[in-house]
Chains A and B, each alone.
Chain A
Amino acid sequence: MQGQTLTVARYVLVEARRSALPWLALSCMLAALGLAGFLSQVAITEASALQASVCAALLRACAVFLVAAHVAASVVRESNDKGLELALALPMPRTAWYLGKLLGFAGAGALIAALFALPLLAWARPGDVAAWWLALAAETAVVAATALFFASALGQAVAAIAGALGLYLLARSISAIQMIAGSPLTGESAAADAARWVVEAIALLLPRLDAVARGEWLLYGAPAVPELALSLGGLAIYFVLLAAAGLFDFSRRNL
């Protein structure tokens, strides 16, 4: 099964290379650099810090959107073209197909992250950029797993992109929401307690995406290796969870 998984992953990467994805990634990089350059011209201090942080934030958002859109479009198109039925008619377990797709999309995300990390070397230390790249690669892998799950389950590109990006935005903002919900200003009523409990419960189901690939790593230094490993470990657990959920749904489906 391992060989089949790797074959599927390789074809996913070939498909990504032949699509508009590399050109879109390059365009995003140039646009982010242009905008950061413009903003630095109007800054009265910390111009380099502004360029690095804005560029990193924009490129991170671009990487996530490109990966989510590419995964959703690719999976839905393959399903509509009956390519999925053709692939599964071969002597290949569903697990191999799904994991191959996941591996390929995660690989494409890692390549985009590497491309986006390159210009940041102009403003930040290589070690900090390496940590940022590693974290962005892990983040795009989680996004790819989310988009694959939604695209496979819903079968519609728009719904899959909306689901993946909605979950992503919630994961990025849940820490701030928890902080607001836990503020003493929210009061001690039963409704406030219930709201806090609901927020805490939702947070348990989400990865800590706000804690990784932060632009401030490039300004003030990346976290220490144990802390970084802990953050990436959390993303790895969520990646496995999404893969398991996707495989579970895919194994039950009648095609």
Chain B
Amino acid sequence: MNLTGEQRALAAVPRWLWALLAVALAAQLGWRAAGRVTAPAASDLPPAPSAAALRLASLGENAALARTAMLWLQAFDSRGDNALPYQRLDYGRLIAWLGAILATDPRSGYPLFAAARVYAENEDAHKARLMFDFVEAQFLVDPNGRWAALAQVALLAKHRLHDLPLALRYASEIQRLATDPTIPSWARQMEIFILEDMNELEAAKIMLGGLLATGRIRDPEERRFLEGRLKEIEERLSRSGGRKR
């Protein structure tokens, strides 16, 4: 290509060369259109590399690599004709990938967001539980930074799997380990409501009373709501005679 503008007229190009260019372009377009790239299948997911290998490949750009690796990973088993995406994925490999990506940039929220909001919603309870375990293990590494994923997983355990003891365990871990004052109250109060759902009213009453007594609830509306809830529990307890945890 000549950037100086000193070029001959288009008429100077022989006709056969025009034709060759057009045919070659058409062939290229046809070739690519015939072999369109689709999302990779679940079985195409390769074994995860180590975090050290990912860091080596990132050439120091860990944040960029971790996020682009997540985009790449979420493409597996996500074809448009897939009624239930991510069902066929090998969750052992998937968790290894998520772990390696998270280790590459531990401050990124992407891997745990995808784990809790996408992969943990698998219809297969066994696979969902594998993802729950992964989220819980990663939460224990940084409770204040990763509580949101465990809170989501607690909700899934409660509403999808109807496994209230498991949901209670996750909620209890958030209550005990996530100490950052910016964490919203609903996450810290989750344990109380799960106890209530489990009909563990005495324990729920003690926890709720304790929470109100600490003075951590400063918002008047929230305080009024929780006091109303406490009153409701006390009424249910007096009606049923209570049930100790």
Q: Do A and B come from one complex?
A: yes
CB nearest to A42 among chain B residues: B71
Known: A176-B52, A183-B52, A220-B107. A50 touches B60 (CB 8 A): no
Does residue A20 face the partner (Cβ distance < 8 Å to B)? yes
Does residue A200 face the partner (Cβ distance < 8 Å to B)? no
Does residue B25 face the partner (Cβ distance < 8 Å to A)? no
Using Cβ atoms and an 8 Å threshold, which residues of chain B touch A176?
Answer: 52, 55-56, 58, 60
Does residue A209 face the partner (Cβ distance < 8 Å to B)? yes
Contact with B along A33-61 (1 / 0, CB 8 A): 00000010011111001100110110010
A177 lies within 8 A of B64 (CB): no
Using Cβ atoms and an 8 Å threshold, which residues of chain A touch B64?
Answer: 53-54, 56-57, 215
Using Cβ atoms and an 8 Å threshold, which residues of chain A touch B3?
Answer: 20
Task: Give the secondary structure class of A's interface.
Answer: helix
Q: Which of B56, B65, B109, B117 counts the most chain A CB atoms within 10 A?
A: B56
Does residue A31 face the partner (Cβ distance < 8 Å to B)? no
Using Cβ atoms and an 8 Å threshold, which residues of chain A touch B67?
Answer: 39, 43, 46, 49-50, 53-54
Known: A39-B71, A50-B67, A179-B55. A45 touches B60 (CB 8 A): no
A214 lies within 8 A of B60 (CB): yes
Which residue of A42, A45, A214 is within 8 Å of B113 (Cβ)? A45
Does residue B122 face the partner (Cβ distance < 8 Å to A)? no
Which of the four size classes fits the interface of chain A? 20 to 34
Does residue A211 face the partner (Cβ distance < 8 Å to B)? yes
Using Cβ atoms and an 8 Å threshold, which residues of chain B touch A169?
Answer: 59
Which of the four size classes fits the interface of chain B? 20 to 34
Which residue of A39, A44, A46, A180 is within 8 Å of B108 (Cβ)? A46
Known: A44-B118, A46-B67. A175 touches B110 (CB 8 A): no
A17 → B minimal CB distance (Å): 14
Using Cβ atoms and an 8 Å threshold, which residues of chain B touch A46?
Answer: 67, 108-110, 113
A214 lies within 8 A of B59 (CB): no
B113 lies within 8 A of A53 (CB): no
CB nearest to B107 among chain A residues: A220
CB nearest to A50 among chain B residues: B67
B52 lies within 8 A of A57 (CB): no
Using Cβ atoms and an 8 Å threshold, which residues of chain B touch A54?
Answer: 64, 67-68
B51-74, CB < 8 A from A: 52-53, 55-56, 58-65, 67-68, 70-71, 74
Using Cβ atoms and an 8 Å threshold, which residues of chain B touch A220?
Answer: 63, 107
CB nearest to A58 among chain B residues: B64
Closest 6 pairs between A and B when the two form their complex, measured CB to CB? A210-B60, A216-B63, A176-B56, A57-B64, A53-B64, A172-B59
Which residues of B pack against A, CB within 8 Å?
3, 52-53, 55-56, 58-65, 67-68, 70-71, 74, 105, 107-110, 113-114, 117-118
Give 14 A-B pairs besides A54-B64, A56-B64, A176-B60 with Cβ atoms closer than 8 angstroms: A44-B114, A45-B109, A45-B113, A46-B110, A46-B113, A50-B71, A53-B61, A169-B59, A173-B56, A173-B60, A179-B55, A214-B63, A215-B63, A216-B62
